[in-house]
Amino acid sequence: MPRMGFRVGVLALQGAVARHADAVRLAGAEPVLVRRPQELAEVDALILPGGESTAMTKLLGVSELAEPLAERLGAGMPAFGSCAGLILLAAGLEPPDGRTRNYGAIDIIARRNAFGRQVDSFEEELDVPELGPEPARAVFIRAPWVVRAGPGVRTLATVAADGAAEPRIVAAKQGNILVTAFHPELTTDIRWHSLFLSMARSSSRC
């Protein structure tokens, strides 16, 4: 029997997996928890939640998802990475740490723990024209930021950082890849997930 609906995988190795799945459901798609290669093969798009990027790299290897994920991303699967997910989808890290796999799905260079450690976590209202006129509440927990973005990357949101001459990029998209340095799943605002679904569905029709 053919399956119905658009299926969005949530990488279920670390992070607020259930909160992402709830947001996907509210945004109008079927969430699928992805822990094994066969589950990854059955989804139309994938969310990579927050967590700890080096631990997630190890867990991807242990679960035998590392290479299937690289293959799906290389074949154009839409993906949304929040916090550690941003780091995994990035082209690289500055400084490089040699322990985190970067899948190069989006042309950005990221910095881990850029805003500080756990005690430096904060929330901020972001101006995000892509989401409409209402500000978006963002929860930053040991968050990265984007150090550099390639010419094909569209910046969606920035945050002023202490001592920085320019605001830091904390949300961006390129093609069917969306990344946020913060945790949209920890708020009741599903606009980021709705934006990702719109991007993913559009690319599936191309």
Please state the residue numbers annotated as binding site: 51-53, 112, 141-142
**How many whole angstroms from its chain centre is CA 31?**
15
> How many separate helices (H) and strands (E) can be counted in the chain?
6, 12
Q: Is 83 a catalytic residue?
A: yes
Which residues, in sequence order, are CB contacts of 165 under 8 Å at separation 6+? none
Under DSSP, the state recorded for 167 is: P
Q: Residue 86 corresponds to which amino acid?
A: L
206 given a catalytic annotation: no
Q: Which of 42, 183, 193, 206 is catalytic?
A: 183
Please state the residue numbers annotated as binding site for L-glutamine.
Answer: 51-53, 112, 141-142
Structure tokens at 75: 């074949």
Residue with tokens 């990265």: 144
Q: Is residue 20 annotated as part of the catalytic site, yes or no?
A: no
In sequence order, the β-bridge partners of residue 173 are: 154, 178
Radius of gyration of the chain (CA): 16
Question: From the candidates 20, 39, 185, 193, which is the catalytic residue?
Answer: 185
Q: Choosing from 30, 39, 71, 83, which is the catalytic residue?
A: 83
Residues marked active site are found at 83, 183, 185
